Amino acid sequence: MKGKALFLVAGATGYVLGARAGRERYEQISRAAGRLWGSPAVQTRVVDLEDKATGAAKQAGSKVQEQVSSAASSVVDGVKAKVSSGSSSDTGSAAAGAPVTTAPPATTPVGSPAAGTDPLGDQHHTRMPTD
């Protein structure tokens, strides 16, 4: 049914756009389409379809919200588990005498800006010649 209606609408549109009968025929077709669209039977069907679409969208939104909530809960639980196991294992290994490694401090060459303050160096001051 949907395919037939789409075919008819596409055919009518093609005819209107490609008609060589002139403006008068275009106006006839346009008025007929307006009457058809404004008819109570068509408008009742449009309202029914809008209600169905709204219901389906709400239902889909609820499902997505549930899935996102479930996924977020599992991620939070996983992070909590990692944090709680990570903090106890770090304390345990340091207490057991295991070596703790840390990254050496970043050094900056003499005359250059401090690390992290100017990531592009002097590039952002360069201007391109204009024509």
**12 exposed, middle or buried (CB, 10 Å; 0-12, 13-18, 19+)?**
middle
pLDDT-derived band at 3 (thresholds 50, 70, 90) equals confident
Mind listing the pLDDT tens digit for each residue in 54-113? 999 999 999 999 999 999 999 999 999 888 887 655 444 444 555 555 555 555 555 555
Token pair, residue 3, equals 């395919």
Greater confidence (29 vs 86) lies with: 29
pLDDT at residue 29 tops 80: yes
Q: How far apart are CA 59 and CA 54, in angstroms?
A: 9
- Break the chain into its structural domains and give their ranges: 1-38, 40-78
DSSP the chain: -HHHHHHHHHHHHHHHHH--S-HHHHHHHHHHHHHHHHSHHHHHHHHHHHHHHHHHHHHHHHHHHHHHHHHHHHHHHHHHHHHHHHHHHHHHHHHTT-----PPPP---TTSPPTTT-TTTTGGG--PPP-
Residues in the chain: 131
Give the per-residue pLDDT at 25.
79
Dihedral over alpha carbons 18, 19, 20, 25 (to 10 degrees): -150
Average pLDDT over residues 105-128: 55
Token pair, residue 129, equals 């010649």
